[in-house]
Amino acid sequence: MTTGTQAQTVTVRVPGKINLGLSVGPLREDGYHELSTIYHAVSLYDTVTVQPADDWSVHVTGPWGEHVPTDDSNLALVAARTLAKRRARRAKVDPVRIDIDKHIPVAGGMAGGSADAAATLVGCREVWGLDHLENDLLEMLGASLGSDIPFLLHGGTAMGSGRGEQVTSVLARGELHWVLWAGEGLSLSTPQVYAECDRLRAEGGVTPGAPEPSGALMTALRRMDTDEVAAALHNDLQEAAISLEPVLAEALSAGLDLGARAGIVSGSGPTVAFLVGSQTEAIDLSVGLAANGPTGDIERAVGPAPGAQIVHQRSNP
């Protein structure tokens, strides 16, 4: 049985993220890298619907649906079950059915799996009537499941530290326009990209210091000057992602040739984010990339976008 509230179907919208700056430090003993990043949520959304059911299940539709596992390894399902287990100490909760409409590229460096898990936590909190569960607690639970989940709950533009799970807001006003390119058939495993970064550093005799946020990027975001932001974008994982998927270099130079203010691999890749100055520039670039760039899925987006939030709820009979 639920914890006393009426059974509900709850729909949550959650954004994908890109990293405007990503500084990667040394490998820690727990297998993660210490990092300093500026997360930026963009208006490319997954929609996650949660409702009580007889059994636990997850169903995925949408342009990237077929690439998502629907077995017990699905991170949204893991998130729902983990929250239920924590609750089980106080009151029993119903299993849920989770429906994901998948628009964020899968294994693309935009934290799509973490986004669905974040949305599921918000949806389950509502369905199970756990109103007392503050965002901070949900973020802590999310952090135990994936480093990017606290940010997907938070949204906007924010600094991430530790392994990325410690999130604090960043002062940024106005909007940035983006064109996102996800190469056809491309996917990169996050651990593999971090390992390649370590390998390239060892090969070059580079010993990473403590990762630090970029002052130039913070200043550019405060002013929200597109060209200043363009000049300050930085990703320590970009070289590793290109080393594993050389077509990314081709995509980056195609975008720059077609007028992007800057291009950057998103997180561990392989999605590439191009910064442009306006919606018109975004349309021009996406048309140009579709005609002349390497084959891929092209989306326009604006940032910052809000974190996981309920967009619809309905009481069940």
Q: Are 183 and 247 in contact (CB under 8 A)?
A: yes
194 sits near ligand C5P (criterion: CB under 6 A) = yes
Which of the residues 297 through 316 are near ligand C5P (CB under 6 A)? none
- Residue 190 interacting with ligand C5P (CB under 6 A): yes
Q: Is 69 in the site for ligand C5P (CB under 6 A)?
A: no
Among 108, 142, 146, 303, binds ligand C5P (CB under 6 A): 146
Closer CB to ligand C5P, 45 or 194, in the complex: 194
CB of residue 31 to ligand C5P, shortest distance in Å:
6
Dihedral angle over CA of 165, 171, 175, 176, nearest 10: -60
Establish whether 102 is a catalytic residue: no
Smallest distance, ligand C5P to C-beta of residue 1, A: 33
**109 annotated ligand-binding residue:** yes
Part of the chain binding ligand C5P (CB under 6 A), chosen from 26-34, 102-110, 258-266, 300-308 = 26-34
Q: Which is nearer to ligand C5P, 31 or 209 (CB)?
A: 31
DSSP string, the chain: --SSSPPEEEEEEEEEEEEEEEEEEEEPTTSPEEEEEEEEEEEEEEEEEEEE-SS-EEEEESTTGGGS--STT-HHHHHHHHHHHHHHTT-----EEEEEE--SPTTSSS-HHHHHHHHHHHHHHHHTT-TT--HHHHHHHHHTT-TTHHHHHHBSEEEEETTTTEEEE----S-EEEEEEEETT----HHHHHHHHHHHHHHTT---------HHHHHHHHHT-HHHHHHH-EETTHHHHHHH-THHHHHHHHHHHTT-SEEEE-TTSS-EEEEESSHHHHHHHHHHHHHHSPSEEEEEEEE--B-SEEEEEEE--
Q: Is 267 labelled a binding residue?
A: no
Q: Which is nearer to ligand C5P, 35 or 121 (CB)?
A: 35
Amino acid identity of residue 118, one-letter, is: A
Binding mask 35-54 for ligand C5P (x = CB under 6 A): x-------------------
Q: Is residue 122 near ligand C5P by the rule CB under 6 A?
A: no
Dihedral of alpha carbons 98, 103, 108, 111, sign = negative
Catalytic residue among 46, 101, 148, 236: 148
- How many angstroms separate the CA atoms of 258 and 256, rounded? 5
Q: Which stretch binds ligand C5P (CB under 6 A): 25-33, 78-86, 205-213, 240-248?
A: 25-33
- Closest by CA position to 39, among listed 111, 107, 106: 111
What residue type is 210 in one-letter code? A
Among 69, 95, 174, 191, binds ligand C5P (CB under 6 A): 191
Q: For residues 167 and 165, what is the distance between their CA atoms, to the nearest angstrom?
A: 6
Q: How many residues bind ligand C5P (CB under 6 A)?
A: 12
* Nearest to ligand C5P of 82, 226 (CB atom): 82
Q: Is 112 annotated as a binding residue?
A: yes
Catalytic status, residue 17: yes
Residue placing its CB nearer to ligand C5P in the complex, 49 or 114: 114
Give 146 or 155: the residue with its C-beta nearer to ligand C5P.
146
Q: Which of 16, 17, 23, 33 binds ligand C5P (CB under 6 A)?
A: 33
Give the one residue of 108, 123, 164, 303 binding ligand C5P; rule: CB under 6 A.
164
26 binds ligand C5P (CB under 6 A): no
Please give the positions annotated as active site: 17, 148
Footprint of ligand C5P on this chain (CB under 6 A)? 31-33, 35, 146-148, 163-164, 190-191, 194
Specify binding-site residues for ATP.
Answer: 105-115
